[in-house]
Amino acid sequence: MKLKNPPVNSLSLEMLTELVINLEKLENDKAVRGLVLTSEYPGIFSAGLDLMEMCGRNPAHYAEYWKALQEFWLKLYQSSLVVVAAINGASPAGGCLMSLICDYRILADNPKYTIGLNETLLGIVAPFWFKDTMVNTIGHRASERALQLGLLFPPAEALQVGLVDQVVPEDKLQSTALSVMAQWLAIPDHARQLTKTMMRKPTVDHLVKQRDADIQNFVSFVSRDSIQKSLQMYLQKLRQKKS
Ligand SMILES: CCCCC/C=C\C/C=C\CCC/C=C/C(=O)SCCNC(=O)CCNC(=O)[C@H](O)C(C)(C)COP(=O)(O)OP(=O)(O)OC[C@H]1O[C@@H](n2cnc3c(N)ncnc32)[C@H](O)[C@@H]1OP(=O)(O)O
């Protein structure tokens, strides 16, 4: 599945909705057992959540957006397919989250392709289920440091901390993803799927139990004037970077 939402594959409401529909289609197709997630645009895997969905909108919109993001996370995290992320570009915040919920992550070796949950740099906070997903991957101490500092790791550091499973030359990314997929598909589906469910259930239950409260938290957090100001300033900085 190729992410395709120009210019930076930000996760807009429309993009999230389409991703969920496509995932459902693949899950229901008996001929499909695995999925490689990559970007149509080498250089950018995904810029994360679409900041335009979180700026200057009304509470009903924020609630709808957050629910769609939860839905996407729940679908992909619980997918019965083998999901391999072939990360061919920068992968900040929501882009990193999307990689973390795959079964295996391969990052192309390019110093510009950084990955991490950098929310604090925007003056916002990664919610508990982003944090849980990261802790499940790299452990508590490394997550605490990475989350507080909003670290974006270049490939060698991402590998060292365990945020990705492999770093490969850019021209080997897709072939490596296919050989990793072959290795995972050699395992009987039912045994692998039950194991995945068992490993992920506590994290899934944590969100499912608190879904509505989490939406309310997000809406009230993002509606604050101070948060709106931080997001606007961050967007301005992104725009100024060009000039
Ligand atoms: C205890 C209390 C707890 C309460 C908690 C409750 C709730 C939690 C609240 C909030 C949680 C929110 C979680 C948020 C997660 C996110 O994912 S936020 C998004 C973070 N993303 C980023 O920081 C990445 C920003 N982008 C970049 O760094 C770069 O754009 C790039 C991806 C590296 C690509 O660089 P480059 O190729 O140079 O492209 P440009 O920077 O020039 O960008 C092109 C245009 O795209 C716009 N853009 C970039 N990123 C985004 C984005 N994420 N959303 C929307 N738009 C984006 C950029 O402004 C450019 O636009 P123009 O062409 O200038 O119009």
Rounded to the nearest angstrom, the distance between the alpha carbon of 135 and the centre of ligand 1 is 23
ipTM above 0.90, yes or no: yes
Q: Clarify whether 119 is annotated catalytic.
A: yes
**3-state SS track over the chain:** CEECCCCCCCECHHHHHHHHHHHHHHHHCCCCCEEEEEECCCEECCCCECHHHCCCCCHHHHHHHHHHHHHHHHHHHCCCCEEEEEECEEEECHHHHHHHCCCEEEEECCCCCCEECCHHHHCCCCCHHHHHHHHHHHCHHHHHHHHHHCCCECHHHHHHHCCCCEEECHHHHHHHHHHHHHHHHCCCHHHHHHHHHHHHHHHHHHHHHCHHHHHHHHHHHHHCHHHHHHHHHHHHHHHHHHC
pLDDT at 242 over 80: no
pTM of the shown model: 0.97
Residues with CB under 6 A from ligand 1: 7-8, 10, 44, 47-52, 90, 92-94, 118-119, 122, 124-125, 127, 217-218, 221-222, 235, 238-239, 241-242
Question: What are the pLDDT digits (tens) for 2-54?
Answer: 999 999 999 999 999 999 999 999 999 999 999 999 999 999 999 999 999 99
pLDDT at 116 over 90: yes
Query: For residue 241, what pLDDT is reported?
Result: 83
Query: For residue 87, what pLDDT is reported?
Result: 99
The mean pLDDT value of the chain amounts to: 97
Question: What are the pLDDT digits (tens) for 59-89?
Answer: 999 999 999 999 999 999 999 999 999 999 9
